[in-house]
C-alpha cells in the first residue's frame, strides 16, 4: 500500500500507478541483498528506490513528449 500510495500521488492514472508499483516491487526484491540495515531503515531504502524509479519514469515520459527546445517553447507558450 505504501509504494502504491506514493505512486498514486505522482500519477493521475491508477493503472499507471499499479504498473509502476509492480516494477518497483520487482526492483526491491531483486536488490534485497544490497540493503544494509546499518545505513538506513528499510522504509527509507524502499522510499529512495520508489522515488528514483518515479523520477526516471517521469523523465522518460517528458523526453518522449518533447523532441526539441523549440517545440517545448511552443508548448509552454500555449499553456
Give tens-digit pLDDT for 62-76.
666 666 778 778 878
The Cα–Cα gap between 34 and 11 comes to: 28
16: which 3 cell numbers?
Answer: 499507471
Give tens-digit pLDDT for 2-48.
999 999 999 889 999 999 999 999 999 999 999 999 999 999 999 99
pTM, rounded to two decimals: 0.73
The Cα–Cα gap between 61 and 21 comes to: 17
CA distances from 76 to 12, 41, 72, 73 (A): 21, 41, 6, 5
Residue-level pLDDT at 31: 95
Amino acid at each position: 500500500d505504501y509504494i502504491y500510495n506514493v505512486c498514486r500521488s505522482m500519477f493521475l492514472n491508477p493503472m499507471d500507478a499499479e504498473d509502476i508499483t509492480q516494477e518497483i516491487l520487482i526492483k526491491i526484491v531483486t536488490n534485497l541483498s544490497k540493503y544494509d540495515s546499518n545505513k538506513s531503515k528499510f522504509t527509507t531504502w524502499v522510499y529512495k528506490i520508489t522515488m528514483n524509479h518515479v523520477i526516471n519514469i517521469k523523465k522518460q515520459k517528458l523526453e518522449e513528449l518533447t523532441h526539441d527546445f523549440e517545440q517545448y517553447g511552443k508548448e509552454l507558450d500555449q499553456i
